[in-house]
Amino acid sequence: MKLRLSDEDARFRDEMREYFTTRFPEHIRAKVLARQELSKDDIVESQQALNAEGLAVPNWPVEWGGRDWSQLQRHLWHEEMQLAGVPIPLAFNASMIGPVIAAFGSEEMKERFLPKTANLDIWWSQGFSEPDAGSDLASLRTTAVRDGDEYVVNGQKTWTTLGQYGDWIFTLVRTDPDVKKQAGISMLLIDMTTPGLTVRPIELIDGGHEVNEVFFEDVRVPAENLVGEENKGWNYAKFLLGNERVGVAPVGTTKRWLADAKEAAGDRLSSDPVLASRVADLENELMALELTALRVVAHSAEGKPHPASSVLKLRGTELQQAVTELYVDLAGPWALASGAGDGSSAPDWARVSTTQYLNYRKASIYGGSNEVQRQIISGTILGL
């Protein structure tokens, strides 16, 4: 395995680094580097700044704003963003529904949605999970019944991340209940202002409002909003979920967090050998993950993720959670200072340590739970 970048790829990396660290909106980077929560306006401004430079949707077809980059260049773009504290483009738009519409949508649908999706003029939500159909997605029960030129949708979705900001939702619905469950599913694009659609917040353990329930009661959707063919939605969902898992190991972000944790630890690293050993183990594990990520990139073909991407998801989220746990231990009693005001003596990083620790328990569940990833690894890599 060649570890050194070619001259061309090294120049590409330097160009990305120069833009992200010197020309991207600094006030957004400052919030990310301080591990503060971004507002909707911050996320929209960030993606529009990237889109103006042609850096928001490089994985799309060139005619719709994509870049004809190699897999390695996409990897470098992704890593440099994270290292610089630049928010990655909104996944629901850039890596989920955008590529699906580009691959399976009609020309009219592409022209209607793709430019606004790339520029985040439309904020998409994901309507896949249901109360009794999370990991077993094909068991979903939300129905869509054709009525003339419309579908009538009834049912419920849950864990809809940032659905409170959504303009449109891409939704899996059951259009044929009498066939094998995977064969009776379709994908509809639904305007979230349509009468009968209700978004209800779910309060999380960290006190935040990040996910929602979405209810559909006789929601009428134009038939032209059907993606591809009726009852072929399962194929589109698998395509979408495959893209979701690309880049799911946030190596760049975790490296930055760990570097900041070492700075927060200060002199304790030299006086506490147990702490020093713990940090060294994390650094070694992270380096191994980074090398594995490069191997996966090198062996991915035609934009399809290598089966070993499941290893990245599994270990990437485990290390991400381990670093958030390190912050809580470094904060000590200050870890109880969540929500403390400006007058608190607790450092800023310590005030958010517990909330982020709690929030990132989700990382081993979304994007295909780590239990599912272990099944993929055992079956497709180890042959068990």
Task: Give the residue numbers marked as catalytic.
Answer: 244
Residue 336: count other Cβ atoms within 10 Å of its Cβ: 15
Identify the burial level of 315 via C-beta atoms within 10 angstroms of its C-beta, where 0-12 means exposed, 13-18 middle and 19 or more buried.
Answer: buried
Are 170 and 126 in contact, with CB atoms under 8 Å apart?
yes
How far apart CA 350 and CA 372 sit, in angstroms, is: 33
Are 130 and 155 in contact, with CB atoms under 8 Å apart?
yes
How far apart CA 226 and CA 223 sit, in angstroms, is: 6
Chain center to CA of 26: 22
Residue 65 three-state SS: coil
Sign of CA dihedral 105, 107, 112, 113: positive
Residue 72: count other Cβ atoms within 10 Å of its Cβ: 17
How far apart CA 200 and CA 203 sit, in angstroms, is: 10
Contacts of 263 (CB under 8 A, 6+ apart): none
